[in-house]
Amino acid sequence: MSSVRVLAGTKKGAFILSSDGKRDKWEVSGPHFGGWEIYHVKGSPVNPDRIYASQTSGWFGQVMQRSNDGGKTWETVGNKYTYDGVPGTHQWYDGTPHPWEFKRVWHLEPSLTDAETVYAGVEDAALFESTDGGTSWTELSGLRKHDSGPHWQPGAGGMCLHTIVLDPTNKERMYIAISAAGAFRSDDRGETWKPINKGLVSDLMPNPTGEVGHCVHRIAIHPSRPDTLFMQKHWHVMRSDNAGDQWEKVSGNLPTDFGFCIDVHAHEPETIYVVPIQSDSLHFPIDGALQVYRSRTGGNEWEALTKGLPQKDCYVNVLRDAMAVDRMDECGIYFGTTGGQVYCSPDGGDTWNAIRHDLPPVLSVEVQTLP
């Protein structure tokens, strides 16, 4: 492995940041699609030059972009996301039925085995699949048609399907998460789905331990232990060691367990990272000090990582898709902020550098480790 490519989606375009294995000098290209909200940019693990980008706008709706040369040039592909059959209704904020309406693509998850296959998580919550490189999209409607679907309700950011996790050892198994319906698992390639929210507690819900209704913010796994899931819920950091069948809280000594992002070290499956955010009312770090927390024990015992991060007057947020790890021998950790910084730690979190600042608010960060 000799270089890395960071794919940053922002509120006003996409940026591509490239560096060699030292990760101390960066070349930046962009903005790509300037002026558009780029919710997510992600490359295919099969062909890293194949990159997909979700481009969206309140004026012009959804556009999907595809690159075949690592982000140097782009072409538009299919942007037609039609729900299967009569979409029916979910619950609106006030509990009344509200028709399913497509708004945007939040998350793109390229297949682990086929560069032409990619999944899209959309708002209003649904999962789409393309097997022709994004040209056409078909809903995997078993998810939305789950018996609980009419009871799903949007979170503050909309009813978005924002997390898609593919099991690297089992092509049949995938996980998704929806705000604010919760987490679901499929064991038949997306045909049927089961809610996997046992052990989650959401105190302000009418039924705090309900089968659905939990505001899951993000799920991450390590490829070597696909049955172990880590979750940043609205409040609470959780883990499951049985593919989501049961969750336990591992917030431990975190100063607050509200947050959005969570990720796992590339080579240490019990080393995980979160960015604690003061509360769901404040959406910025405690005391204006930006701190990543690392647990080397899969949760419960956490240490603050602060070297190189602003420790005063910092009032940014780190959104759910805005943290990623590379696969270099010394694992690099990356995150982007709503203040337009992209930080890199080339040493597993011990020290941090702002590899870019003054970008538009960062919505997503992905990293590709290139040969």
Partner 1 sequence: MMEGAPAQASSVHRVRVVLPYHLRNLARVGSEIELEIAGTVTVRTVVDAVEARYPMLEGTIRDHVTKERRPFLRFFACQEDLSHDSPDAELPGEVAEGKEPLLIVGAIAGG
**Binding-site ranges for partner 1 (CB under 8 A):** 35-36, 57-63, 76, 79-80, 82
Nearest distance from C-beta of residue 76 to partner 1, angstroms: 4
User: Pick from 155, 168, 297, 161: which is nearest to 237 by CA?
Assistant: 297
Residue 364 tokens, joined: 């997503």
CB 298 within 8 A of CB 277: no
Nearest distance from C-beta of residue 290 to partner 1, angstroms: 26
Question: Which residue number, 13 or 244, has a Cβ lying nearer to partner 1?
Answer: 13
User: Pick from 52, 60, 59, 68: which is nearest to 14 by CA?
Assistant: 52
Question: Which residue number, 11 or 194, has a Cβ lying nearer to partner 1?
Answer: 11
Q: Which residues contact 169 (CB under 8 A, 6 or more apart)?
A: 223, 226
Nearest distance from C-beta of residue 92 to partner 1, angstroms: 19
Q: How far apart are CA 162 and CA 155, in angstroms?
A: 12
Residue 111 tokens, joined: 């297949």
Nearest distance from C-beta of residue 100 to partner 1, angstroms: 13
Q: How far apart are CA 180 and CA 109, in angstroms?
A: 20
Q: Which residue has the tokens 């910084």?
A: 341
Q: How far apart are CA 218 and CA 232, in angstroms?
A: 5
Question: Which residue number, 12 or 189, has a Cβ lying nearer to partner 1?
Answer: 12
Question: Which residue number, 36 or 230, has a Cβ lying nearer to partner 1?
Answer: 36
Question: Which residue number, 219 or 363, has a Cβ lying nearer to partner 1?
Answer: 363
Nearest distance from C-beta of residue 205 to partner 1, angstroms: 33
